[in-house]
Chain A
Amino acid sequence: MPVIFITDALIFFLLGMVALFAWYAASHEHLRAPWRQVASNPLAMAAVVVLIFYILIGLLDSVHFHPKLEQRADQPDQYSTEVLSLLDLITEKMRTRVETSYSAPFATHAFSREMLVLEDGSEIRDYPKLEYAGSHLADTDSAVIDILVKALAGAVSGLCIWLALVALVVFRLARSRHLSVGLTINSIILREGQVPWHIILCTAGLLIIVMSSLFHLSSYYHVLGTDKVGQDVFYQALKSVRTGLLIGTLTTLVMLPFAIALGIMAGYFRGWVDDVIQYLYTTLNSIPGVLLIAAAILMLEVYMTNNAEAFTSVEQRADMRLLFLCMILGIMSWTGLCRLLRGEALKLREIDYVYAAQAFGVGNTTIMLRHVLPNVMHIVMISIVIDFSGLVLAEAVLAYINIGVDPSMASWGNMINSARLELARDPIVWWSLAAAFIFMLGLVLPANLFADAVRDAFDPRIRKQI
């Protein structure tokens, strides 16, 4: 039985918007040209491949449902109260194979010693065997070879998937370029053409092979170890992808209408409209961001404790909190874009085509929509991609002050926060931190590189210099 969280609905709405925009951009040359420039940038295209990979994980994790309970056929269908996503189905083994406590990556034994009762009744202090990881092995000393074999098997299946992908791309390219398959492969290898397909395919190949290898291993071992309550860290990191993406994108979606409408209106109308809007954003801006979020989240908590009956499940609470957080972040972050748009609209309203439209008696709304808005879209686009990485990073900081996403929700911030306290252990528990680090860097770095490419392509000041 499907469940639709508000954030799920919004993320698919956002996807639809992006698709619509892509279709619009494809049919307009002035938008197609800068995107072509982005597409010819090898670094940016490698970044895009990684981003698509993250987005796919996030989307898989955004289709929620109540799983069907197992029962006799003659009874009516019954559903569990648990909420799962498609990603949970794929990672079933990671999710359900929960150990008792910490274990290192690829470990077959627990991280700390316990009192063990041997068969003959005597007690010794030793590292107990893990319940699931490596349980298929008869002898845990041979784990290294087994890991290598399993990794290789996973890599080979990844290679097959990649080859299929390559074949698909090559055939599509060959058809669109009206070339033979051989010539297309040649042109990819020789790096002809504008789009750096060799980079795209290599990045995709690397990702697919590594992920498939890890994925294959993860049903036998905990590839990134387990946390305090024995949960698989790799699974948590995967689940956190959705949270990170949502914070980065929904916040923008929330603030965009305000920023665009108010910014353009302030610049176009000037006078008292401008004064009011300027007052509005200076006031909001002058409240320190973290404190405003803290205040708002505190208030949400008070509201939720007093209206506990309105939120039926933990997931629903967490979802509401995430949405609310996005809204607050959005309220705080629209001011920057609004100010930029106001400045641009101030310039645009003095341009001849706007005067001409006014002379023809075109209404203000139409002028703003048809003449001002399309000419500020590059600013909007640049600020969307630049804000994204900052928001993903902000989540980790907010989690530390306990004003981020719900503690029950998987997020990199929560992972760091719980792992931070364990650094005092000796030997240290490093893998939760490492996992959060790799996954965050893996998202934020490509996002930054992509943002740079987009800015270079769309910013007219930079374009002139080229």
Chain B
Amino acid sequence: MINYIIRRIFYALPILIGVNLITFFLFFIVNTPDDIARMQLGQKRVTQEAIDKWKADRGYNKPVLWNANADGMKRLTETIFYSNSVKLFVFDFGQSDSGRDIGHDISQRMWPSLAITVPSLLLGLLAYISFALILAFFRATYIDVWGVILCVIMMSISSMFYIIGGQFLIGKYLHLVPISGYDTGFEAIKFVALPVMVGLVASIGSSTRWYRTIFLEEMNKDYVRTARAKGLSEKLVLYRHVLRNGLIPILTGVVVILPMLFIGSLITESFFAIPGLGSYTIDAINRQDFAIVRSMVYLGSVLYILGLLLTDISYTIADPRIRLD
């Protein structure tokens, strides 16, 4: 097991290098720092001095890949590539274009993100699995048919409408919770409730339908027929056999997104003004702060790869037939 994990981590390295190169290519080669500076400073009639100053302030005035003027190792280290991309490998995100320490911002902002994503995930799993079980129990009846149609309708509605509708109905019309904002400590609950609920409702359609297929697939298997043949009631078959075995693909499917929970949800956070990493990224996109966007791209990729690794490990735990080495 340990061997496998070590091997997988080594396998992840080239992928991380690839991600790093892609972002570097996008942000520094396709458009040079001069272009970015000109755009940030606004007008076309920017003097070269202003551009140079902007670049010098942010350390973009070094050569891109190879510094011929320096000597020794500094030829490599005194470059944009080294100072902006290589350092990402040790999670040194450096400073944002507006001069803030990105690493510090991230460590502060991930908590509000988690406050939204973790309850959403847990409550969501509970709700979707229950709904899917109900549909599977009533399979091939009108309840099932209309349930599935309802699911399809719900997944055909853009998530924007759920958010806007939720804010309007619960926040503005019923005045149950504040429309947006965030607070620390226990006060946060009333701010968190609405985004969590909206997120839950928004993905009921697709998740319930998907889980229902998983349960139905389980129900066609031999062990279920055996269980029924033994004379077990349908309820017992469902809870004791179908649910337990259906949970394997569901939970291993969830594992892949676990690390991504830190990143938060871009749209939800920015709509509800939650000061998490999602709104941090959106703000950076809107302010065109390239340093932050670059860091978040990298962080997201690292977490995704971590998710893949965890998925593989969880498969071995859930299903002993799979051997990793």
* Partner-B contacts on A (CB < 8 A): 279, 282-288, 290-292, 294-296, 298-299, 301-303, 305-306, 389, 393, 396-397, 400-403, 412-413, 416, 420, 423, 428, 433, 437, 440-441, 444-445, 447-449, 452, 465
Closest to B164 in A: A420
13 contacts between A and B (CB under 8 A): A282-B15, A284-B22, A286-B308, A287-B22, A288-B296, A291-B300, A299-B26, A299-B27, A401-B267, A402-B286, A416-B164, A420-B160, A445-B152
Closest to A306 in B: B35
A287 with B35: CB separation less than 8 A = no
Closest to B216 in A: A465
Q: B89 near A: Cβ within 8 Å?
A: no
Per-residue A-contact encoding for B202-226, CB less than 8 Å = 1, 0 else: 0000000000000000001000000
A294 with B158: CB separation less than 8 A = no
Q: B146 near A: Cβ within 8 Å?
A: no
Q: B83 near A: Cβ within 8 Å?
A: no
Q: Which of A288, A397, A403 contacts B263 (CB 8 A)?
A: A288
Chain B hits for A299, CB < 8 A = 26-27, 30-31
> What total of A-B pairs shows CB separation below 8 Å?
130
Q: Given contacts A288-B263, A416-B158, A445-B153, is CB(A301)–CB(B39) below 8 Å?
A: yes
Q: Given contacts A286-B305, A294-B285, A433-B164, is CB(A396)–CB(B23) below 8 Å?
A: no
Q: Given contacts A295-B293, A448-B152, is CB(A288)–CB(B300) below 8 Å?
A: yes
B304 with A288: CB separation less than 8 A = yes
A441 with B18: CB separation less than 8 A = no
Q: Which of A287, A305, A416, A441 contacts B19 (CB 8 A)?
A: A287
Q: B159 near A: Cβ within 8 Å?
A: yes
A415 to chain B, nearest CB (A): 10
Q: Give chain A's interface secondary structure class.
A: helix
Closest to A393 in B: B158
Chain A hits for B114, CB < 8 A = none
Q: How far is the CA of A118 from the CA of B158 in the complex (A)?
A: 46
In residues 277-302 of chain B, which contact A (Cβ within 8 Å)?
281-282, 285-286, 288, 290, 293-294, 296-297, 300-301
B15 with A291: CB separation less than 8 A = no
B157 to chain A, nearest CB (A): 6
Q: How far is the CA of A397 from the CA of B265 in the complex (A)?
A: 12
Q: Which of B22, B153, B281, B296 contacts A283 (CB 8 A)?
A: B22
Q: Which of A389, A403, A441 contacts B285 (CB 8 A)?
A: A403
Q: Which of A306, A440, A448, A465 contacts B155 (CB 8 A)?
A: A448
Chain A hits for B26, CB < 8 A = 295-296, 299
In residues 135-157 of chain B, which contact A (Cβ within 8 Å)?
152-153, 155-157
Chain A hits for B285, CB < 8 A = 294, 298, 401-403
B38 with A305: CB separation less than 8 A = yes
Q: How far is the CA of A298 from the CA of B290 in the complex (A)?
A: 9
Q: How far is the CA of A236 from the CA of B288 in the complex (A)?
A: 29
Q: B185 near A: Cβ within 8 Å?
A: no
B43 to chain A, nearest CB (A): 10
B170 to chain A, nearest CB (A): 13
Chain B hits for A290, CB < 8 A = 266
Q: B36 near A: Cβ within 8 Å?
A: yes
Q: B239 near A: Cβ within 8 Å?
A: no
B185 to chain A, nearest CB (A): 28
Chain B hits for A433, CB < 8 A = 161, 164
A441 with B157: CB separation less than 8 A = yes
Q: How far is the CA of A175 from the CA of B6 in the complex (A)?
A: 71
Chain B hits for A291, CB < 8 A = 281, 293, 296-297, 300
B127 to chain A, nearest CB (A): 21
B15 with A283: CB separation less than 8 A = yes
Q: Which of A279, A287, A294, A301 contacts B14 (CB 8 A)?
A: A279
Q: How far is the CA of A285 from the CA of B290 in the complex (A)?
A: 21
Q: How far is the CA of A279 from the CA of B18 in the complex (A)?
A: 9
A178 to chain B, nearest CB (A): 37
A69 to chain B, nearest CB (A): 32
Q: How far is the CA of A397 from the CA of B267 in the complex (A)?
A: 7
Chain A hits for B161, CB < 8 A = 416, 433, 437
Q: B168 near A: Cβ within 8 Å?
A: yes
Chain A hits for B156, CB < 8 A = 389, 393, 441, 444-445, 447-448
Q: Given contacts A279-B18, A295-B293, A433-B164, is CB(A400)–CB(B300) below 8 Å?
A: no
Q: How far is the CA of A412 from the CA of B161 in the complex (A)?
A: 12
Q: Which of B160, B281, B286 contacts A416 (CB 8 A)?
A: B160
A397 to chain B, nearest CB (A): 6
Q: Given contacts A303-B31, A416-B160, is CB(A295)–CB(B14) below 8 Å?
A: no
Q: How far is the CA of A218 from the CA of B220 in the complex (A)?
A: 54
A302 with B39: CB separation less than 8 A = yes
Chain B hits for A292, CB < 8 A = 297
Chain A hits for B300, CB < 8 A = 286-288, 291
Chain A hits for B293, CB < 8 A = 291, 294-295, 298
A306 with B304: CB separation less than 8 A = no
B159 with A287: CB separation less than 8 A = no
Closest to B285 in A: A294
Q: How far is the CA of A282 from the CA of B13 in the complex (A)?
A: 12
Closest to A402 in B: B286
Closest to B304 in A: A286
Chain A hits for B294, CB < 8 A = 295
- 6 smallest CB-CB distances across A and B, nearest first, come from A288-B300, A283-B18, A445-B156, A444-B156, A286-B301, A286-B304
B301 with A396: CB separation less than 8 A = no
Known: A299-B31, A448-B156. 11 other contacts (CB 8 A): A284-B22, A286-B15, A286-B305, A288-B301, A294-B285, A306-B31, A306-B39, A389-B156, A393-B156, A393-B158, A416-B158
B283 to chain A, nearest CB (A): 10
Closest to A417 in B: B160
Chain A hits for B15, CB < 8 A = 279, 282-283, 286
B158 with A396: CB separation less than 8 A = yes
A422 to chain B, nearest CB (A): 11
Q: How far is the CA of A283 from the CA of B305 in the complex (A)?
A: 9
Chain B hits for A401, CB < 8 A = 266-267, 270, 282, 285-286
Chain B hits for A403, CB < 8 A = 285
